[in-house]
């Protein structure tokens, strides 16, 4: 219910800053919703992405565009016919969705088809076949490992897309200009001190999530996002140039590609050792150790690409914002 | 290594993409991308051969058996579409270097090739996989890459076009995902073949109908069926010329493949719950007429052929709607043939843009004297578009008309022929101005003045050769029709004959 209210509030509010904050709340709410549905891993991802990195990135975008929506003065109000048509279309889609749920198996019932088919093997056999307690990780990283490779490439593609739009000066060695003075929030001592305590913890937590994914909820995706959030926080407080001194964009670009390589070459190596693509069992003499090794390595690849990709996207945006400030 | 071909087909361009990024020198990236594309072309040829010899190839990713792991499943249909995509992708890429050097800033060119390879890999992945969620993942890869590629356009309106496409494309993908989720809740599986087996049990439920509706609408958004085509004209017009050639010849084709795959292999041809076939025929015909009529008036030639693409997609949808094996064969033929002719046309337009700087109709006046080879290519490909005998366009339209007669739908056949007349009109108007129009004064040929004081020259060989490869393919496959005919006939029978 809260979800619906928040969603409506997001659509109605004119102040984009408020909208971003509300969508952060939306992310957190849906994360708790997923916890209530017993999907802890999904909830963790949603918390990291929806409530963590998404608002940060959106804030940066607002830095480029400005805080308020352009008022309708220069936009024509859509004609009534169009409005009615839009309403009909929405009702149709919504109605169809509700219609579709009529025959859906009841939530949580044990004899729903979704529980009866492939899941049985995931639940009953994955501890023996793969040897790690977190079944979600086994499904994501091994049974459906190729999908995960695909998802990593989606992030990689997104990062490339942003680079395609903004890249021009990001990689040229930036000249120390007057921007150094205005970047960041120099005067907020409280924020800076609190963040100095928090950021190392965030980064540390990211590593914990990274390597603990086999046992608890978590893994490369969440870790990468959390790590990136830490760095982004640092950038927001201390300014872009300082952050770019620590992590050079060109290094990030290499890392971003490198993570994909780690993942992909794991597949190629398993192919060369006689198995199918991404068959980790052949990586070591004992299949279970092979699975362990494979999952550890690919999660590392995932983490690297996600973190590098996110930071790269953020740098590209904030570079744009700062150069606009510099001109304006 | 031969049994790894299905995965190599996708993995080669997929992993070549980050490698391209590491190279970071435009020329090197291009060479490397071409290398990867040629390899994947060879693989797709080998795959088609293998499938023809020994039937369906199934490849278990990660070594897990089908419904638990992800399966790559290459049957004749997918092998055929893989060949189309990788062949066009390669030929267009060969031409890319020249055109891209002029249209995109130098420091962004490597990123361009990275995205191009990603897009190609994404499209190949959609076709090769036998897992419905995997389709969605690769659809996302290819779509994201496409949005970025479109945004490379020099015109600032390219950004807006990319944004429009992004919104509509995302809606399409979300609909598809909703459908997939509903199907999973009913069957507990994501593997297409497994899904097809388990669906009949659940077929009398509202959830299946909803899933079907969402998935079909989602895919139709992607393939730009009227009235869901609104993103297409802007996208094609403002994207860099090379990107237009690539997209027009591959992206919509893969979406049509997906439609066929979902409709025939997953839901089954006898899934007759909704009156989908008359809807397809109706919308297909409307596409043909509306889009062709709009095309006639377009001042921008790229936009003209973009509308013509919408019309051609209409023909393919009619073929699916007829619902007979012959109709499906006509669709598959047109898939192949349309890729060839639109590839050739848009590449030729890329050459024109390379020399004149724009694709406005006024620039074409008297162009045949200055760029004879390029214009000749446009003429041949245009004839093929109309469906003149001895070109590929004739073959597929012939089959389409034949199919509609066979099913007793003679008004449809008549309308198809009338629709072709419309395409004669717009192609002829272009040819007329190029061959018989007077060359305009240099000043209003193009906006940039200094370069145009010297007479316009023929396009460089690096563009002409790929163009003519495609043009000759248009003629060759129009005369020697064995390869596409056999492949499409077997694939169509296979699909109609009780699913895969």
**Record: contact A144-B188, CB cut-off 8 A:** no
What are the backbone angles phi and psi of residue A261, rounded to the nearest 5°? Answer: -60, -45
User: Which residues are CB-neighbours of B183 under 8 A, at least 6 positions away?
Assistant: B132, B195, B199, B208, B211
**Record: contact B21-A150, CB cut-off 8 A:** no
Q: Are residues A59 and A141 in the same domain?
A: no
Instruction: Tell me whether B271 touches chain A (CB under 8 Å).
Output: no
Torsion region of B57: left, alpha or beta (phi above 0 gives left; psi -120 to 50 gives alpha): beta
pLDDT of residue A99: 74
Q: Are residues A66 and A187 in the same domain?
A: no
- Highest mean pLDDT out of A85-94, A184-193, A240-249, B345-354: B345-354
Q: Is residue A128 part of a domain?
A: no
B-chain residues within 8 Å CB-CB of A104? Answer: 182, 185-186, 207
Cα dihedral: B91, B96, B99, B100 (round 10): 160
Instruction: Tell me whether B230 touches chain A (CB under 8 Å).
Output: no
**Record: contact B134-A147, CB cut-off 8 A:** yes
**Record: contact A168-B62, CB cut-off 8 A:** no
Give the number of domains in chain A: 2
Min CA distance, A250 vs chain B (Å)?
10
Distance in angstroms (rounded) separating the CA atoms of residues B336 and B261: 16
Distance in angstroms (rounded) separating the CA atoms of residues A212 and A31: 20
Burial A218-228 (b: 16+ CB within 10 A, else e): bbbbbbbbbbb
**Record: contact B151-A154, CB cut-off 8 A:** no
Q: Are residues A137 and A265 in the same domain?
A: yes
Query: Does the pLDDT value for residue A313 go beyond 70?
Result: yes
**Record: contact A278-B185, CB cut-off 8 A:** no
B-chain residues within 8 Å CB-CB of A96? Answer: 210, 213-214
From B137, which residue of chain A is nearest by alpha-carbon distance?
A150
pLDDT of residue A216: 66
Instruction: Tell me whether A118 touches chain B (CB under 8 Å).
Output: yes
**Record: contact B202-A165, CB cut-off 8 A:** no
A-chain residues within 8 Å CB-CB of B141? Answer: 150, 153-154, 157
Compute chain B's Rg from CA coordinates.
Answer: 22
Domain containing residue A49: CATH number: 1.20.120.1200
Query: Does the pLDDT value for residue B415 go beyond 60?
Result: yes
Q: Is residue A123 part of a domain?
A: no
> Containing domain of residue A253, as a range?
133-328
> Which of A97, A102, A257 minimises the CB distance to B22?
A257
Distance in angstroms (rounded) separating the CA atoms of residues A94 and A92: 6
Q: Kindly state the helix (H) or strand (E) to which residue B83 belongs, with its residue range.
A: helix B76-103
Q: Is residue A103 part of a domain?
A: no
Residue given tokens 């680079």 in the structure block: A163
Min CA distance, A206 vs chain B (Å)?
25
A-chain residues within 8 Å CB-CB of B105? Answer: 168
Structural domain spans, chain B: 275-500
From A290, which residue of chain B is nearest by alpha-carbon distance?
B62
**Average of pLDDT values for A233-258?**
80
Min CA distance, A28 vs chain B (Å)?
22
Among B2, B58, B62, most A C-beta atoms within 10 A, so best to mutate, is B62
pLDDT of residue A175: 45
**Record: contact A257-B7, CB cut-off 8 A:** no
B-chain residues within 8 Å CB-CB of A102? Answer: 206-207
Instruction: Tell me whether A98 touches chain B (CB under 8 Å).
Output: no
Min CA distance, A326 vs chain B (Å)?
22
Provide the chain A residues 219-278 that lie in CB contact (below 8 A) with chain B.
253-254, 256-258, 260-261, 264-265, 267-268, 271, 275-278
Q: Are residues A328 and A242 in the same domain?
A: yes
> Which of B63, B105, B189 minimises the CB distance to A275?
B63
ipTM, 2 dp:
0.79
Instruction: Tell me whether A102 touches chain B (CB under 8 Å).
Output: yes
Query: Does the pLDDT value for residue B187 go beyond 60?
Result: yes
Domain's final residue, options A54, A72, A90 = A72
Percent of chain B with pLDDT over 70: 93
Compute chain A's Rg from CA coordinates.
Answer: 23
- With both helix axes pointing from N to C terminus, report the angle between B301-322 and B276-296 in degrees, rounded to the nearest 10: 160
pLDDT in tens, A97-128: 777 776 666 665 666 666 666 666 677 766 66
Q: Are residues A19 and A158 in the same domain?
A: no
CB B25 within 8 A of CB B107: no
Least confident of A162-171, B53-62, B216-225: A162-171
Q: Are residues A199 and A283 in the same domain?
A: yes
Min CA distance, B106 vs chain A (Å)?
9
Q: Is residue A119 part of a domain?
A: no
Q: Are residues A239 and A315 in the same domain?
A: yes
pLDDT of residue B120: 92
pLDDT of residue A73: 46
Instruction: Tell me whether B181 touches chain A (CB under 8 Å).
Output: no
CB A263 within 8 A of CB A149: yes
**Record: contact B188-A97, CB cut-off 8 A:** no
CB A53 within 8 A of CB A206: no
pLDDT of residue B86: 92
pLDDT of residue B227: 79
Q: Are residues A65 and A184 in the same domain?
A: no
Please compute, for residue B324, the number of CA atoms within 13 A of its CA located in the half-sphere on the CB side: 14
**Average of pLDDT values for B362-388?**
84
pLDDT of residue B445: 43
Distance in angstroms (rounded) separating the CA atoms of residues A283 and A80: 64
- Highest mean pLDDT out of B53-57, B83-87, B369-373, B464-468: B83-87
- A288 class by beta-carbon count within 10 Å (0-12 exposed, 13-18 middle, 19+ buried): middle
Q: Is residue A87 part of a domain?
A: no
Token pair in block for residue B153: 């356009």
Q: Are residues A46 and A192 in the same domain?
A: no
**Record: contact B198-A117, CB cut-off 8 A:** yes
pLDDT in tens, B273-322: 567 788 888 888 888 888 888 888 888 888 888 998 898 898 899 888 88
Residue given tokens 């398993």 in the structure block: A270
Instruction: Tell me whether A147 touches chain B (CB under 8 Å).
Output: yes
Min CA distance, B443 vs chain A (Å)?
32
Among B69, B126, B193, most A C-beta atoms within 10 A, so best to mutate, is B69
Least confident of A64-73, A143-152, A188-197, A251-260: A64-73
What are the backbone angles phi and psi of residue B416, rounded to the nearest 5°? Answer: -60, -45
Q: Are residues A143 and A228 in the same domain?
A: yes
> Which of B18, B140, B186 minimises the CB distance to A261?
B18
Nearest CA to A175 out of A231, A241, A86, A224 is that of A241
> What confidence tier does B119 reach under pLDDT thresholds 50, 70, 90?
very high
């Amino acid at each position: 219910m809260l979800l619906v209210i928040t969603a409506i509030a997001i659509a109605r509010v004119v102040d984009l800053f408020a909208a971003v904050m509300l969508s952060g709340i939306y992310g957190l709410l849906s994360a708790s919703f997923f916890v209530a549905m017993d999907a802890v891993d999904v909830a963790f991802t949603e918390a990291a992405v929806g409530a963590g990195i998404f608002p940060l990135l959106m804030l940066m975008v607002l830095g480029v565009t400005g805080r308020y929506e352009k008022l309708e003065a220069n936009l024509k109000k859509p004609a009534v016919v169009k409005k009615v048509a839009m309403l009909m279309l929405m009702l149709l889609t919504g109605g169809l969705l509700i219609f579709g749920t009529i025959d859906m198996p009841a939530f949580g019932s044990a004899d729903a088809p979704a529980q009866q088919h492939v899941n049985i093997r995931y639940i009953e056999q994955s501890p023996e076949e793969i040897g790690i307690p977190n079944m979600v990780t086994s499904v994501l990283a091994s049974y459906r490992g190729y999908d995960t490779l695909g998802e990593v490439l989606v992030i990689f593609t997104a990062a490339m897309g942003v680079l395609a739009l903004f890249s021009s000066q990001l990689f040229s060695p930036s000249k120390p200009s007057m921007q150094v003075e205005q970047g960041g929030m120099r005067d907020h001592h409280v924020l800076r001190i609190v963040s100095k305590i928090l950021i190392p913890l965030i980064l540390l937590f990211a590593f914990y999530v990274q390597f603990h994914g086999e046992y608890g909820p978590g893994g490369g995706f969440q870790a990468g996002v959390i790590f990136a959030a830490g760095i982004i926080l640092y950038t927001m407080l201390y300014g872009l140039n300082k952050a770019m001194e620590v992590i050079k964009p060109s290094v990030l670009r290499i890392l971003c590609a490198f993570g994909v390589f780690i993942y992909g070459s794991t597949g190629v190596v398993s192919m060369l050792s006689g198995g199918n693509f991404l068959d980790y069992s052949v990586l070591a003499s004992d299949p279970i150790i092979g699975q362990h090794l494979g999952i550890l390595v690919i999660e590392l690849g995932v983490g690297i690409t996600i973190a590098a990709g996110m930071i790269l996207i953020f740098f590209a945006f904030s570079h744009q914002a700062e150069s606009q400030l510099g001109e304006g | 290594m031969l049994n790894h071909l299905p995965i190599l087909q996708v993995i080669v361009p997929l992993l070549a993409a980050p490698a391209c990024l590491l190279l970071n020198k435009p020329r090197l990236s291009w060479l490397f991308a071409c290398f990867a594309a040629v390899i994947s072309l060879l693989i797709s040829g080998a795959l088609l051969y293998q499938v023809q010899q020994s039937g369906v190839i199934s490849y278990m990713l990660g070594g897990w058996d089908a419904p638990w792991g992800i399966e790559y499943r290459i049957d004749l249909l997918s092998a055929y579409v893989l060949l189309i995509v990788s062949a066009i992708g390669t030929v267009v890429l060969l031409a890319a270097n020249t055109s891209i050097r002029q249209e995109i800033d130098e420091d962004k060119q490597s990123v361009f090739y990275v995205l191009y390879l990603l897009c190609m890999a994404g499209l190949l992945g959609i076709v090769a996989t036998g897992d419905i969620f995997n389709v969605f993942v690769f659809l996302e890869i290819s779509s994201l890459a496409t949005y970025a590629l479109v945004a490379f356009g020099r015109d600032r309106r390219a950004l807006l076009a990319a944004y429009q496409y992004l919104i509509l494309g995302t809606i399409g993908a979300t609909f598809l995902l909703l459908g997939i989720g509903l199907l999973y809740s009913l069957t507990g599986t994501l593997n297409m073949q497994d899904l097809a087996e388990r669906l009949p049990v659940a077929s009398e439920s509202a959830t299946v109908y909803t899933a079907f509706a969402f998935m079909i609408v989602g895919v139709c958004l992607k393939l730009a069926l009227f009235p869901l085509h609104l993103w297409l004209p802007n996208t094609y017009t403002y994207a860099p010329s090379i990107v237009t050639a690539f997209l027009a010849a591959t992206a919509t084709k893969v979406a049509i493949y997906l439609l066929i795959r979902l409709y025939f292999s997953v839901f089954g041809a006898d899934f007759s719950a909704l009156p989908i076939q008359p809807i397809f025929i109706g919308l297909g015909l409307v596409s043909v007429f509306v889009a062709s009529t709009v095309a006639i008036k377009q001042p921008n030639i790229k936009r003209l052929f973009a509308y013509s693409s919408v019309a051609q997609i209409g023909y393919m949808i009619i073929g699916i709607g007829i619902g007979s094996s012959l109709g499906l064969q006509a669709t598959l033929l047109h898939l192949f043939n349309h890729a060839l002719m639109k590839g050739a046309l848009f590449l030729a337009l890329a050459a024109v843009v390379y020399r004149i700087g724009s694709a406005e109709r006024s620039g074409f006046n008297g162009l045949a004297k200055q760029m004879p080879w390029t214009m000749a290519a446009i003429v041949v490909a245009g004839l093929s578009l109309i469906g003149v005998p001895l070109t590929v366009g004739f073959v597929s339209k012939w089959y389409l008309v034949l199919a509609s007669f066979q099913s007793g739908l003679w008004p449809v056949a008549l309308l198809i022929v009338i629709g072709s007349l419309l395409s004669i009109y717009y192609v002829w108007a272009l040819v007329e101005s190029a061959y018989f129009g007077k060359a305009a004064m240099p000043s209003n040929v193009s906006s940039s003045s200094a370069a145009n004081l010297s007479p316009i020259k023929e396009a460089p060989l690096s563009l002409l050769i790929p163009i003519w490869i495609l043009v000759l393919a248009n003629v060759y496959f129009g005369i020697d029709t064995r390869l596409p005919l056999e492949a499409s006939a077997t694939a169509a029978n296979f699909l109609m004959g009780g699913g895969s």
